[in-house]
Structure 1
Amino acid sequence: MLTSDVDQVFTRAEIARRLKLSEKTLRNWAAMEPPKGPPFVRVEGGRVRYPAKDYFEWEAAQFTPP
């Protein structure tokens, strides 16, 4: 079964590489109240995943001129 782009998810390591940040920074952002950074979901075992659609929307919003 093929996964569509809408269903694609990224790991914390993939997002960290993409943003040129450490995984620790992303963990710290996720622990903030409210959370900072790209939207994420927790999956089985407490793992964090970043849905591609949500990530790309967040990324685009970071570069929108005021």
Structure 2
Amino acid sequence: MPQDPAIPVTDAEAACPATEANPPRPQPPRLLTTEETTRLLRVDPSSVRRWRAERPPQGPPFIRLSERVVLYDTGDLQTWLAGRRTTPGARRKTA
């Protein structure tokens, strides 16, 4: 039976190279709080909260665990940032 990914890997497991019998485990997503996200993006927390409150929501994708708990996946943040990149001199894509 596969081990729960939330359970940490032991030193013995970490020392074994990935093989067919011991495939590499996917890393769980790194989830950031709103405050951690604002530090990463270098924006004011009110901006991130405003993005979420817009209809439709703006800004990076988020995970609402409850009314007061919102998390951001680092992979989603990287994808969102990449989509906002502007390359000077590059031609715009046409639809």
Amino acid at match of 1:40: F
Q: How far, CA to CA, are the matches of 1:54 and 1:28 in structure 2?
A: 18
Which residue in 2 is equivalent to 1:36?
58
CA RMSD of aligned residues (A): 2.0
Structure scoring higher RCO (CA < 8 A, sep ≥ 6) equals 1
Q: Find out whether 1:16 has 2:38 as its counterpart.
A: yes
Aligned structure 1 segments of 4 or more residues deviating by more than 6 angstroms: none
- Work out which of the two has the higher radius of gyration on C-alpha atoms and give 1 or 2: 2
1:50 to 59, 72, 79: 72
Structure 1 gap segments, 5+ residues each: none
Q: How does the TM-score come out when normalised to structure 2?
A: 0.59
Structure number having the greater strand percentage: 1
Structure 2 gap segments, 5+ residues each: 1-7, 10-25
Question: Cα offset for 1:56?
Answer: 0.8
Deviations 1:12-58 (A, max 9, x none): 11111111111111001100011111100111463010011111110
Once the two structures are aligned, what percentage of the paired residues are identical? 31
